[in-house]
Structure 1
Amino acid sequence: MTEGHQVDEIVSQIGPKLRALRTAQRHSLQQLATISDVSAAAIHKIERNGMVPTITTLLKLGTALGVPVRYFVEEDDQPPEPVHYTPSDRRPTVYTPHEGLALAGITGSYRQFQTAAAMATVTPGASSGAKRMQHPGEELVHVTEGTLTFQVGDQTFSLSAGDSLHFSGEVPHRWANDGDHPAKAIWIALRNG
């Protein structure tokens, strides 16, 4: 492979890597624009390979998504990973913009698999905010400790230990820990395509 072709190949992967990471973390274009200070239009163009981002833009996007700049420009010389093992003491921290929500990853690469899951710890009083979220894909939350409240569409669900909630991300939703104790849950997101 020539150097020029190699560079083109690396640059052409920035858009798909950004889109895969954004959707796996369940951010809309507008949500990512807000937390990264990069316009939604620019993010859309980058994802479709219609624009090559500057290093400053990549730094902003990487910071917002919790990955180093090298994530976007490293060559993928690793073969596809058909199986991923995550030991309990080596769960990676998954970036989230929500204060009071800590996520420890339990799934493989966002680029390899359609499912992203984490062990979630939600402090008392934490929530996803007043504005309801919408995104492609599905979510499945299984509470293992404490309580969580979800508003999905026009329904409200109070989940206690052992309860699960599975819903389409297209339905406007929000979550909160209205209890006095931290809540723990297995939180799974299934991407579309």
Structure 2
Amino acid sequence: MDAETETLALAIGRRVRDERQARDWTLDRLAAEAGVSRRMIVNVEQGAVNPSVGTLLRLSDALGIGLPALVEPRAVASDLVKVTRHGAGAALWSGERGGRGVLVAGTETPDVVELWDWTLEPGERHASEAHSTGTRELLQVLDGELVIEVGDATHALAVGDALTFPGDVDHAYANTADRPARFSLAVFEPGVGTTHREAGS
């Protein structure tokens, strides 16, 4: 891991541990709630791994805090406006050829909105498993060409094209062209944490 990734991994690990301990959950309990291994929880809390976006989503959903809360500094109650300066977002995905998925901003629970800045180099593809029920995604291609797979359907997009689709089915973003593609992505995940609160967890 480079220094930036290591710093982010340590910050995520501290937040996961703090949230788990605030609930008096054991490692096994969080592993069961999130559907990931106990070993992965230990590695995440120690900052020893750079977890996938899917793993981070599972953890944030299980903890009922939303993905932005895992990677952004804790909000102060009086902070109604938050500025994220250029280059200061959390790079949560890196492609084999240099592509990046950067979470640049997000809102708090229960209805979480994430704003992403994505770049896919030629030949790169990012597959995403289905998010929680009711999740919606909106994206717009800013540069290059993009292929979006939603369930069994494929959608080819060019610069300026936009797409809205359900994020609660398996989906993927791919660059099959010969130049980089950049797109802005918004993810709306309603009711984060309400399942656990209703269950009395």
* C-alpha RMSD of matched pairs (Å): 4.0
Equivalent of residue 50 in structure 2, options 57, 63, 70 = 63
Shift of residue 126, structure 1, vs aligned partner: 0.2
State the distance in 2 between where 1:152 and 1:184 align. Answer: 19
* Identity percentage of aligned residues: 23
Name the aligned partner's letter for residue 92 of structure 1. Answer: G
Give the corresponding residue for 2:31.
43
Shift of residue 123, structure 1, vs aligned partner: 0.5
State the distance in 1 between where 2:185 and 2:75 align. Answer: 30
TM-score, normalising length: structure 1: 0.60
The question of whether the paired residues in 2 share the 8 Å contact of 1:80 and 1:112 is answered with no
TM-score, normalising length: structure 2: 0.58
Name the count of aligned residue pairs: 151
Give the corresponding residue for 2:65.
none
State the distance in 2 between where 1:10 and 1:173 align. Answer: 29
Equivalent of residue 93 in structure 2, options 78, 82, 96 = 96
The question of whether the paired residues in 2 share the 8 Å contact of 1:14 and 1:46 is answered with no
State the distance in 2 between where 1:144 and 1:159 align. Answer: 10
Shift of residue 55, structure 1, vs aligned partner: 5.5
User: Which piece of structure 1 moves more, 182-191 or 102-111?
Assistant: 102-111
Task: List alignment gaps of at least 5 residues for structure 2.
Answer: 1-17, 57-68, 192-201
Give the corresponding residue for 1:105.
103
Shift of residue 142, structure 1, vs aligned partner: 0.4
Name the aligned partner's letter for residue 45 of structure 2. Answer: L
- Could you list the per-position Cα deviations for residues 98-150 of structure 1 after superposition, in whole angstroms to 9, with x for gaps in the alignment? 54431333314666871111221110000025xx6211211111001100101
Equivalent of residue 11 in structure 1, options 17, 21, 41 = 21
